[in-house]
Amino acid sequence: MTFSANPALSPNPAQRAIFASQSSQTRGRLYAEPGSPTRSEFQRDRDRIIHSTAFRRLSFKTQVFVPHEGDHYRNRLTHTIEVAQIARALSRALGLDDDLAEALALAHDLGHTPFGHTGEDALVEVMVDLGGFDHNAQALRIVTELERRYADFDGLNLAWETLEGLVKHNGPVTDALGQPLARYQARGVPRAIAAYNARHSLDLASFASAEAQCAAIADDIAYNAHDIDDGLRAGFFDLDDLLDVAFVGDIVREIEIKHPGLERGRRIHEVGRRLITRFVEDAITESARRLVAAAPRSAADVRAQTQQMVAFSPAMVAADQAIKKFLFPRMYRHPHIVKIRNEALGVVRRLFEAFLANPRAMPAEWGQAAENMMQKGASQSQVAHHICDYIAGMTDRFALAEHRRLFDEAPELR
């Protein structure tokens, strides 16, 4: 197999690797559409995602810090844009279809709730006996059902490869016998994924494309870099605290040696950009090694592998784990974040309980739809999922406004 991992590789389809996803050979869309004379199928998907309502809402959804804490902290949208940039860089270097990788990166957080993972934790808790909640499954619902923009279909009618990557970017969902794997072993495959798969199989037992794998690892890289950056700027820890963190400490020392006395803001930025560069370069090198060893002849061959093709080296896996171990107590469990988290949990719980007790308390369109569902004999679980659709789509500020409308008050989350 001829293969070259080159960060400057042209995106020209004629120069892509033989195992790249081929837009011209897509497995199609649920609803047949004529092709575009100016864009590939994956470019169309990327554009549909960018123009979706759910994508716009990401700008007012929390990453770690709530929006009013500062204009320079990441939100879901800025995080998503950073992931897309890294995913494009990785996929281009590996000779893949960077339009598909970008589309998947742009879509990967569409199903996230208000208040970051806190909102998801609240919905998981209240839905534990009602069918569960999963942000990945919610993203699938958004792009296949909840976006209502087109005259001919609900959802965005994305290509099979985009839907597959959205569902399986972190690996197979089931084994060959259909038994849930990894994060789904305890609660089972989310009903939204299972229902769509029964209608339009996404081959849940296989890996996703290499492009989807690029989007997944780009998410990890972006998280590590921007959470360190945001944590430093928030004063949750300082650069000296990073000296004992494997791999990151070396970068901090390297900057000090090369630029002694550099102002703090520039030092922080240097740490972030060097961190991203080294994670990306490591992923390119390790992925190229795996691809050469496996010698896939097509995108289908990538899906049939027994391990991810796009991955970090063992040394970088250890560095990734060390960063997460450092950040967990200092960032995600910092007393300030925990206080806001507890208040946000209460907001989401109370909204859900109020709407479950009285679905008519939702705005007219949503309340009427719930009423219609109940008149047709819908179960409590089905109504609860409808309520989850409404809450999960909220921005932080709208969730607080709804809480204020229902309860005449809302926490300031400060």
Could you give the dihedral angle defined by the CA atoms of residues 159, 23, 95 and 105, in that order, rounded to the nearest 10 degrees?
-20
Is pLDDT above 60 for 100?
A: yes
Residue 201 predicted with pLDDT over 60? yes
pLDDT of residue 404: 97
pLDDT in tens, 158-188: 999 999 999 999 999 999 999 999 889 988 9
Whole-number Å distance between alpha carbons of 182 and 185: 6
More confident residue, 62 or 212: 212
What is the torsional sign of CA 59, 60, 63, 64?
positive
- CA separation for the pair 366, 360 (Å, rounded): 8
273-309 pLDDT, tens digit each: 999 999 999 999 999 999 999 999 999 999 999 999 9
Widest pairwise Cα distance in the chain: 71
> pLDDT tier at 3 (50, 70, 90 boundaries)?
very low
pLDDT recorded at residue 6:
44
pLDDT digits (tens, 9 = 90+) for 365-394: 999 999 999 999 999 999 999 999 999 999
Q: What are phi and psi of 265, to 5 degrees?
A: -60, -40
Contact 68, 74 (CB under 8 A): no
pLDDT digits (tens, 9 = 90+) for 313-340: 999 999 999 999 999 999 888 898 889 8
